[in-house]
Structure 1
Amino acid sequence: MYEPQGPGTPIAQPYGYAYPPGPPPQRPKTSGLAIAALVLGLAGCLLLPLLPAFILGIMALSQTGPGKQQGRGLAIGGLAAAAFWTIGWIALAKNTMGDLDRHTASPPSASCATPPAGHADACTLKPGECFEQPSVKGTFATVELTSCGSAHAAEAIGAFTPADTSWPGAEKLRAEAVGECRRIMEKNVDRPRLEASGVHAELSYMGPGRESWENGVRTVFCTIYSPDSQLTGSVLVPGADLSIPTG
């Protein structure tokens, strides 16, 4: 037992030694993959970072968790952001090139008369020309040509001539137009640029009806059509094949 001592007397120290405090325990490092996944996921509005964000996010999940590196929340946040932007891009694609199966025939005139100035018909329309189309369905003799640089409803992206010599019927003609116009679209249309513009557009065609066919009008024009005349600028890729028929 230690007893109180008088003034000037050294105070006895208890038995033992005082060690300087040791270094604090090291905290687990934050996963670099988790940080990268979050950054790329947040940058998903640019489209290209989405795939790397998913890959790095999944890899970061295996690196993080109890007893492992920190950053699991960052990895989850990156995956969630990438998923959000993916849904947004899918919705945008559906909006801008929506209803691609909606192909309808819009028969031009029964014969090749000279169209009014500033208009074109089945015999004078050329792929690459932009015009105002009355509707995606119906029958009309001519379309009003317009500059591709200003707002317009449609652009002819190519043309083909059906192989039939006699009238094939509306359904058979439509089926052939669906296949041919899809092929021409994949070849001639700059779809990434069109989709990025946010414009609602549809793949359609203008083909002859029976009377026109029997009068020798056989050309079918494939078109990109915007119901609200929102197209501005050509939808074609540089060097698009504009021959008739499109090769």
Structure 2
Amino acid sequence: MNNPLGPGTPIAQPYGFVHPPGPPPHHHKTSGLAIAALVLGLTGCLALPLLPAMIVGVIALTQTGPGKRPGRGLAIGGLAAAGFWAVGWVALLGNTMDDLRHDTAGPQSAGCATPSPGHADACTLKPGECFEQPKVKGTFDSVELTSCGNAHSTEAIGAFAAADGPWPGAEQLRAEAVVQCLRIMAKNVDRPRLEAAGVYADLSYLAPGRESWEHGVRTVFCTIYSPDAQLTASVLTSGADLAIPTG
């Protein structure tokens, strides 16, 4: 596919003459969190482990180093690997989603109007539905639904509710969509099957425009988009989470 998320161990007090004599201190074992950070960081190509790798890596740094548990190098390695994969994902999907961003125009009033038969809009579209997306980039009122078994350009793979508040602007909404849609894609899309079919498709999303936002629309749909309408079956895994919000 082109395109194309525990508390630290208390620090032992230094041995000194004020402490009563006792047996020699035990050597600490390598930090398990440091090992976990390295493993998660190295698997960052899958997207989902990136955030846990960074969190675990930072915690591992606090409990490793001189006078602490061994494993600081592993923690640093895990953070470095996670950072490498994060940059790669952002570079790849950041460009893709910027090129393919489309805004769905939501209701023109506080209530959702019923779209034309066979069409869906920002209020009625559901994850798992396939449709033909207009070729033009920008804002459109609705999309034409189609059977996932027929050739089509787009499938909604999941959705999330954007953070509430005043209109965030297209760039901030895009940044939130990159993170959320990566997570949903890793959870719901059968990537090996899609790649085996040789289909050219990208991760994209449909988001409310400013007017829709001001009327209360907050749902953002993550989609798999094939510009040449090469999709001929659903891209979802068996048992995909189609709830709104997804996951």
TM-score class normalised by the smaller sequence: 0.5 to 0.7
One-letter identity of the residue aligned with 2:103: P
- 1:100 and 2:87 matched: no
**CA deviation after TM superposition for structure 1 residue 227, in Å:** 0.3
1:199 and 1:106 mapped to 2: Cα distance?
21
Query: Residues 167 and 210 of structure 1 are in contact (CA less than 8 Å); yes or no, is this contact kept in structure 2?
Result: yes
TM-score after normalising by structure 1: 0.58
* Displacement of 1:144: 0.2
> Does 2:165 correspond to 1:165?
yes
Return the offset for 1:105: 3.4
Question: In the alignment, which residue of structure 1 is the partner of 2:183?
Answer: 183
CA contact (8 A) 1:105 1:208 kept: no
Instruction: Please give the alpha-carbon distance, in whole angstroms, between the structure 1 residues aligned to 2:211 and 2:129.
Output: 25
Are the counterparts in 2 of residues 136 and 225 from structure 1 also a CA contact under 8 Å?
A: no
- Summarize the alignment of residues 76-225 of structure 1 with structure 2, pairs less than 5 Å apart: 100-101=93-94, 102-103=96-97, 104-111=100-107, 112-135=112-135, 137-225=137-225
CA distance in 1, matches of 2:186, 2:192: 11
User: 1:108, CA displacement in angstroms?
Assistant: 1.8
Mapped partners of 1:105, 1:161: distance in 2: 17
The answer on whether the counterparts of 2:93 and 2:178 sit within 8 Å (CA) in structure 1 is no
Query: Pairwise CA RMSD of aligned residues?
Result: 1.2
CA contact 1:131–1:153 (8 Å) conserved in 2: yes
Q: Return 191-200 or 105-114, whichever deviates more.
A: 105-114
Per-residue deviation, residues 214-243 of structure 1 (Å, max 9, x unmatched): 011110000000000000110000000000
- Unpaired segments ≥5 residues, structure 2: 1-91
Percent of pairs identical after alignment? 73
Q: Could you state the TM-score of these two structures normalised by the residue count of structure 2?
A: 0.58
Q: Is contact 2:149-2:234 (8 Å) kept?
A: yes
Task: Tell me what 2:63 maps to.
Answer: none
Q: Classify the secondary structure of the residue corresponding to 1:149.
A: coil
**In 1, distance between residues paired with 2:178 and 2:199?**
22
Q: How many corresponding residue pairs? A: 149
* Matches of 2:165 and 2:207, distance apart in 1: 15
Distance 1:162 1:193 in 2: 30
Judge conservation of contact 2:200–2:226 (CA < 8 Å) in 1. Answer: yes
State the SS of the aligned residue for 1:207.
strand
Alignment partners' CA distance in 1, 2:138 and 2:209: 11
Helix, strand or coil: the match of 2:177? Answer: helix
Report the Cα distance in structure 2 between the residues aligned to 1:134 and 1:106, rounded to whole angstroms: 9
Contact kept in structure 1, 2:161 and 2:245, CA below 8 Å: yes
Deviation string, structure 1 residues 73-125 (Cα, Å, up to 9, x no partner): xxxxxxxxxxxxxxxxxxxxxxxxxx633114322224121100000000000
Asked if structure 1 preserves the Cα contact closer than 8 Å seen for 2:106 and 2:121, the reply is no
